[in-house]
Amino acid sequence: MQRPKLFALLFILLFSTPCSTHAGADPATLGLVQITLPGGAIIQAELADTPQKRATGLMYREHLDADRGMLFTFTQAQAWVFWMKNTKIPLDLIWINEKKQIIHMEQNVPICTRTDDSCPQYRPNEDALYVLELAAGRAESLKLQRGSKLQFKIP
């Protein structure tokens, strides 16, 4: 390829692709669900709505911003079991029923460094349709509690 054509191609590629920054971008276009909490705070949550996304969850992540989370959605309500295998950051786990009310929380759940499948399991006493994961300590700082109602729409 001739140099002028190569530079023209590089110029087109560099300036025709979207910028990697997401400042001002609509969260829905980034695959995020906006969750409004009772006090008015908003969490932008990644959606774990497929078996693969639910299986991976927040594994291997090094950090989770205070205004971010992951919302697991299921097709039917059950007492869904979670564990922290391969999760590198402590989390708050929040089980939510079909009315979008918190039915159970496990706060400040520690990471599990075991290499086998013997990490502790966490489960609610009631059936849940959703589970929200937040950085450890966020549920307390946001004053979330059993019975709190969250607002969100699943795309």
Query: How much is the pLDDT for 31?
Result: 81
Chain segment 23-33, per-residue pLDDT in tens: 444 445 468 99
- In contact, 43 and 134? CB cutoff 8 Å: yes
The per-residue pLDDT for range 119-152, each reduced to its tens digit, is 999 999 999 999 999 999 999 999 999 999 999 9
Both structure tokens of 84: 């922290």
pLDDT tens digits for range 72-115: 999 999 999 999 999 999 999 999 999 999 999 999 999 999 98
Task: Produce one character per residue of 80-98: b if its CB has 16 or more CB atoms within 10 Å, e if not.
Answer: bebbbbbbebebbbbbbbe
CA distance 72 to 50: 9
- Tens digits of per-residue pLDDT, 120-129? 999 999 999 9
d(C-alpha 64, C-alpha 43), whole Å: 11
Nearest to 93 by CA among 128, 53, 42: 128
pLDDT tens column, 4-59: 443 333 233 223 333 333 344 444 546 899 999 999 999 999 999 999 999 999 99
pLDDT of residue 10: 28
pLDDT value at residue 26 = 45
